[in-house]
């Protein structure tokens, strides 16, 4: 397997879990909202945003 083929395989294999992470990031705040206080929900929202930003960064890095 040459380097280009390996890179394409790696991008493909990384994209699936990253898509799952980003989709989960969209769903979790809605599921957590009813069970959390305003303060803990705000902290969780910050954590969800960090997770999403890192997933997007990883996706963009692997696409380059």
What are the tens digits of pLDDT across the range 45-63?
888 889 889 988 988 887 7
pLDDT for residue 53: 92
Name the token pair of 32. 């957590």
Distance CA 47, CA 33 (A): 14
Whether residue 59 contacts residue 18, with contact meaning beta carbons closer than 8 Å, is answered with yes
26-49 tens-digit pLDDT: 888 778 777 778 788 788 888 888
Tell me if the pTM is above 0.75. no
**Averaged confidence pLDDT in the chain:** 84
pLDDT for residue 64: 65
- Of 26, 21, 15, 19, the residue nearest 62 (C-alpha): 15
């Amino acid at each position: 397997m040459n380097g280009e083929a390996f890179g394409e395989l790696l991008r493909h294999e990384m994209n699936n879990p990253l898509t799952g992470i980003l989709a989960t990031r969209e769903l979790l705040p809605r599921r957590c909202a009813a069970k959390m206080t305003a303060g803990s929900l705000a902290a969780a929202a910050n954590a969800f945003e960090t997770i999403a930003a890192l997933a997007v960064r990883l996706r963009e890095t692997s696409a380059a």
